Structure 1
Amino acid sequence: MEDFGLLNWTILIVYLIGNVFMGLMFSKDINSAENYYLGSKTIPWWAIGLSVLATYVSAMSFLGGPAWSYGSGLGVMMIHINYPIVIFLVITLFLPFFYNSGVASIYDYQEKRFGKKARSVMSIIFMMTQTLSSAAVLYATALVVSFIIGIEVNIAIVVITIVALVYTLMGGITAVIWTDVIQSIILMVGAVIIFYFLLTDLPQPLMSTLSELKAQGKMNILDFSLDTKVEATVWTGVVAMVLYHTTVYGANQMVVQRALAAKSIGDAKKSFLLMGFIAFFIYFLFLLLGVLFYSYYNGQEFDNNNTIVLQFAADTGLPGLLGIITAAVIAASLSSLDSALNSLATVTTLDFYEKYFKKEASSNHYLKASRWFTVFWAGLIVVPAILFAQSEGSVLQLLTKVGSYFVGAKLSMYALGFYSQHTTERGLLIGVVAGFLAVWVAATQTNIAWPWYCAIGFIINVPVSIGASLLLDGRQSELSVYTIKGQKKMYREQNLPVKQDGWYLIPGKVDNISWLLVVFFIATLGSLYLLSIFI
């Protein structure tokens, strides 16, 4: 973009300085490794909830969502229809195990349930997947900078990494969460502004536009096809992607670490409930923007569809609009990268450095180590980010595809831990290998759509793990306390309180409000069905 303008530059610079100032404001409280990972456990639940939203509903969705639906239509909403069910499972099964343990790394559960090797495998899988997803976020941000200033994307990637690194080293999880709160608000304000101006600039009324889009096949939301080669169907949304997103939100250090910073189990659950009730509307807005852009630009081809939102902001000519949109996208992306660097450093320090290389050192020592690992991961993420820059498709779609290769193994390791008495560490690891091989075969030798990769890995991993465990180690006579049955038995035998302030402490017990998520899920499906009929 040749002329970004003084007003837009002012908005962008002031906003970024404000984020840095917040990082500095909270940095004075980071005097131990525990503060760096979990803060002081005084952050309100709504702030943590908005932080979770800002991390995954950020620039990846703001840029990639419209790009995806611009090319594929509103049917891709099925990929994101499942959040109420996902959050129902996460707060019922995963959160109690992690929060009650009092640890900063959620992969500590794998060691307690199976052993050190299982913990290391899970940590390594997280590092691999988070590095790739963070690289995609970094690329999305660099794309914005390149679009505005005109510098090469690769140069922008390096510059943004340096900025994000400096910001991350200052704040710790407390600064991450509070900057996320502001960033999520700014991002949504930008989206609503874009939506408003897009509606006013459409050549036809909204309903006429939607009818025309339906005739063009862009509004086919509910596809009941059983063809596994189709990417976005009702079945991928309510089956395959439920498994995928449950792993993303339940077994992901970057997400759960925020909930661990809550002051109680109730606050941790409420922060996730916010995501369960709001995510549908946010993703629907972003994807609807994509099909409306398709009508506005008459299906015009772009060099890179991820720039459509920015192009529209520039085309409107409203003073300061491009600055607001750019600030929102860059700030949200930096926040996501900040969160990733913090969680990667946490896992590296706790699961490897402290465990195998430097045991029983001081908290101050581990704080310094965490910051050095933050620098390490910032440098490493640059490499795949540059590779992502070679892709012209939707970065959101690309990110989701990459993640689908690994989530089956993660889901299986937790599902077996929760429910299988007889699975052992040796059998579990054999199952993980078998699951990876199954996904590789599906991805390279078949035309099965990527949303099913998680389900394939899970379906193969579970029986192989159980069978290998029985063959190698036999039936286990003792019930692990880290299974759901074991937890219930422990609470019963030790006469422990099963609730705290009205919220269940014990995993597997459903809080009353969680049933509203199921009702909400059914309501959203019904709403989409009615929308497809009356357009």
Structure 2
Amino acid sequence: MKNLPVLDISIILLYLLAMVLVGVYFARKNKSAEQFTKASGKIPGWAIGLSIYATFLSSNTFLGVPGKAFGGNWNAFVFSISMPLAAWVAAKYFVPFYRNTGEVSAYTNLEKRFGPWARTYAVVCFLLTQLARMGSIFFGISLTLQALTGYSMETIMVVTGICIVIYTVMGGIEAVIWTEVVQGVLKTLGALLIIYLIVSGMPGGVSKIIEIGKTDNKFSLGDFSLDFTQATFWVVLLYGFFINLNNFGMDQNYVQRYHTASSAKEASKSVWLCVWIYVPASLLFFIIGSCLYAYYQVNPQMIEPVKLQAAAERLGAAASSVDIANLAATLKPADYGDKVMPYFMVTMIPTGLIGLIVSAILSAAMSTISSGMNASATVFSEDIYKRYFKSGLNDKQNMRLLHVATVVFGLAGMACGIAMIGVKSILDIWWQLSGIFAGGMLGLFLLGIISKKSGNLEAFAATIVGILVIVWMSLSYLIPDEYAYLKNPLHANMIIVVGTLCIFLTGTLIASIRNKRATIS
């Protein structure tokens, strides 16, 4: 632990104040729900693209990815490699579809296609996904700031959360987008600065890092065998394609941005701009992880405090120093990977630069959380409150509803972050939860736009089957070992793949059978 110098604290506080002032500035424009949720469709495509990029590049990337690369290899980078194909589908089909409907909610069309239950089901899946995402990001940022300041993770989540809530509530989607443009640039510069600091302090420089990385297989993209029980190249590629398809096609965070563009062409450009920036930017964080690994291989004595901290957390407060030391000696890099980046910042980054890098990490967290708050509030307003409780609200009532919902979802995200304290890997927990919650709604969405013959009955039956499959795949690890044959044999990342295909194929098959019977009769 290290007490931050006054200069670094001042830089961080100035950054937080600047974000709040952005919300105050845009608050003058937010006189209607249309402005709050769509920015009146006047945002340029390049700004939307940077905004989507900033949402993708969360603190899960900033902290979780270097931790994964440090503890393993570049297998998780395959997720980024899958993005261009998902973006092509989104730009060609999803963007025109949503622009033509004109609906600010991504889920209104499901009710028109299959009925109220489909819309509600997708909304619940989305809100659960957002809470999981906001929680994992709150956890990630508090993990770093705790190492730097010594304050409790709960306190850090509350302080940062209040700042995010203020500028999101006051500024609406326009404040979210323009702050994300700045945050996207800031977090990228932060990553480049960290790489420079590691390489400059590394004996032997880049060549030594490459030598150690090659020796220990740190640059591998994973096993290329067709084994779906492990996180092979193909498992991560499939997971990445389906989750990115869900992001571009069903996630309100992204769909809402399509409506803020001046045209469908500008909206499509924003998708591609996000991809071409995100793929190389995400690679930077894998490079950081590999650089940190090489750095601490050359300086093994410097990583001992991290191993001791990880061992102490596992054993609990009652553990003796001998037990902690014995466990620390057996830990592998994967067991303490998430702690390495904050530790490097605490011990190796000079005064002044720490404040800048923490601000970059804060920006990574704030951009994604603010997007999640705004999108969740919009979905709750359009798909739940107005649908089931009270429609026909005037602008004043609409704005009050959106403001209250934004605050509530912000507080709920903090609560989820507190509940995640103690998890082993930020990236792993986020990937698992998103795969579980997103699989169902993506399958239902694809069934609705591709299988024209599928109706309400087919969609409902397929969704029930899909939910049962997802629940089984998610919870079968709880089955006793004597019934091991009943457990899910596939890797957890396959849940979204199997769940999506199960709903889509089941619905298509039932519709085909019914149509054949109708033709015969």
TM-score by length of 2: 0.87
Secondary structure class of the residue paired with 1:221: coil
Corresponding residue for 1:435? 466
Do 2:64 and 2:427's aligned partners in 1 also have CA atoms closer than 8 Å?
A: yes
Which protein has the bigger helix share? 2
Tell me, yes or no, if structure 1 residue 325 matches structure 2 residue 324: no
Match of 2:492 among 425, 434, 450: 450
CA apart distance, 1:155 = 2.5
Corresponding residue for 1:403? 434
Task: Give the stretch that moved more between structures: 441-450 or 188-197.
Answer: 441-450
Match of 2:377 among 345, 369, 386: 345
Match of 1:370 among 378, 402, 411: 402
Corresponding residue for 2:506? 464
Secondary structure class of the residue paired with 1:73: coil
Do 1:81 and 1:237's aligned partners in 2 also have CA atoms closer than 8 Å?
A: no
In structure 2, distance between residues paired with 1:152 and 1:232: 37
Corresponding residue for 1:8? 8
Gaps of 5+ in 1: 478-535
Corresponding residue for 1:157? 157
Q: Is the alpha carbon distance of 1:471 and 1:69 closer, same or farther for their aligned partners in structure 2, counting shifts above 3 Å?
A: same
Secondary structure class of the residue paired with 2:385: helix
Corresponding residue for 1:295? 294
Secondary structure class of the residue paired with 1:103: coil
Secondary structure class of the residue paired with 1:228: coil
Corresponding residue for 2:342? 310
In structure 2, distance between residues paired with 1:332 and 1:212: 30
CA apart distance, 1:390 = 1.9
CA apart distance, 1:346 = 0.4
Superposed CA offset, 1:315-345 (max 9, x none): 3342311101111111321221111111111
CA apart distance, 1:144 = 2.6
Corresponding residue for 2:329? none
In structure 2, distance between residues paired with 1:62 and 1:252: 21
In structure 1, distance between residues paired with 2:157 and 2:170: 20
Superposed CA offset, 1:171-221 (max 9, x none): 100000000111111111111011111112222242342232222122222
Do 1:83 and 1:275's aligned partners in 2 also have CA atoms closer than 8 Å?
A: no
Secondary structure class of the residue paired with 2:31: coil
Q: Is the alpha carbon distance of 1:433 and 1:91 closer, same or farther for their aligned partners in structure 2, counting shifts above 3 Å?
A: same
Task: Give the stretch that moved more between structures: 373-382 or 254-263.
Answer: 373-382
* Amino acid in the other structure paired with 1:313: M
CA apart distance, 1:438 = 1.5
CA apart distance, 1:381 = 2.0
Do 2:20 and 2:166's aligned partners in 1 also have CA atoms closer than 8 Å?
A: no
Do 1:427 and 1:472's aligned partners in 2 also have CA atoms closer than 8 Å?
A: no
Corresponding residue for 2:456? 425
In structure 2, distance between residues paired with 1:376 and 1:472: 44
In structure 1, distance between residues paired with 2:90 and 2:185: 25
Superposed CA offset, 1:23-64 (max 9, x none): 111110000111110112221111111111111112111111
CA apart distance, 1:250 = 1.8
Superposed CA offset, 1:441-477 (max 9, x none): 2332224212211111122212322344567798899
* Amino acid in the other structure paired with 2:273: L
CA apart distance, 1:432 = 1.6
Corresponding residue for 1:355? 387
Secondary structure class of the residue paired with 1:40: helix
Do 2:134 and 2:416's aligned partners in 1 also have CA atoms closer than 8 Å?
A: no
Sequence identity, in percent?
27
Secondary structure class of the residue paired with 2:41: coil
Task: Give the stretch that moved more between structures: 172-181 or 454-463.
Answer: 454-463
In structure 1, distance between residues paired with 2:417 and 2:489: 27
Corresponding residue for 1:516? none
CA apart distance, 1:222 = 5.0
In structure 2, distance between residues paired with 1:179 and 1:397: 28
In structure 2, distance between residues paired with 1:431 and 1:453: 16
* Amino acid in the other structure paired with 2:493: P
Match of 1:414 among 445, 449, 465: 445
* Amino acid in the other structure paired with 2:431: T
Secondary structure class of the residue paired with 1:207: helix
In structure 2, distance between residues paired with 1:211 and 1:110: 53
How many equivalent pairs are there?
475
In structure 1, distance between residues paired with 2:162 and 2:271: 31
CA apart distance, 1:380 = 2.0
* Mapping of residues 117-516 of structure 1, within 5 Å: 117-233=117-233, 235-298=234-297, 300=303, 302=307, 303=310, 305-393=337-425, 395-443=426-474, 444=476, 445-469=487-511
In structure 2, distance between residues paired with 1:211 and 1:391: 32
* Amino acid in the other structure paired with 2:392: E
CA apart distance, 1:126 = 0.5
Gaps of 5+ in 2: 311-335, 477-486
CA apart distance, 1:86 = 1.1
In structure 2, distance between residues paired with 1:237 and 1:71: 17
In structure 1, distance between residues paired with 2:339 and 2:354: 12
In structure 2, distance between residues paired with 1:317 and 1:405: 38
CA apart distance, 1:408 = 2.2
Task: Give the stretch that moved more between structures: 466-475 or 63-72.
Answer: 466-475
In structure 2, distance between residues paired with 1:206 and 1:119: 52
Superposed CA offset, 1:362-411 (max 9, x none): 12211111111112212222332112112132x12220111111222122
Task: Give the stretch that moved more between structures: 30-39 or 397-406.
Answer: 397-406
* Amino acid in the other structure paired with 1:399: W
In structure 2, distance between residues paired with 1:388 and 1:365: 35
